[in-house]
Amino acid sequence: MKYLNSYKNFENMESDSMRREECDRCKQPPINNTTTLSKFNKQVICMPCKEKEQKHPKYRTACDAEEEAIRNGDFNYPGRFHRIGLPEGL
């Protein structure tokens, strides 16, 4: 359960830095000011972009990579695709 608790703190810590006038990815103002962190890189994205991510074939890979990084104590993991760029289709 230690892992779950630390993950929760991580999300709270991030919430302040997640306010955006526009989505980092599509540059549209987020609907209801709702944004979330991309699983693919460090972008803060709107919900339509998130839905697009979740449907992407590489989404599972990106989630697994992030979960493994967090398990290893890397709370600043930038995302599986941070360095190599977003996969095609995003």
Tell me which of 37, 44, 49, 90 binds Zn ion, using CB under 5 A.
Answer: 49
Q: How far is the CB of 76 from Zn ion (least distance, A)?
A: 23
Tell me which of 37, 44, 46, 62 binds Zn ion, using CB under 5 A.
Answer: 46
Nearer to Zn ion, 23 or 86 (CB): 23
End-to-end CA distance of the chain: 34
Euclidean distance between CA atoms 84 and 90, whole angstroms:
13
| Tokens of residue 81, six digits | 């695709």
Q: How far is the CB of 47 from Zn ion (least distance, A)?
A: 8
What's the Cα-to-Cα distance from 77 to each of 15, 22, 26, 63, 81, rounded to whole Å? 16, 23, 22, 11, 11
Nearer to Zn ion, 69 or 82 (CB): 82
Q: Which of residues 50-89 bind Zn ion (CB under 5 A)?
A: none
CB-based contacts of 1, cutoff 8 Å, min separation 6: none
Q: Which of residues 9-38 bind Zn ion (CB under 5 A)?
A: 23, 25-26
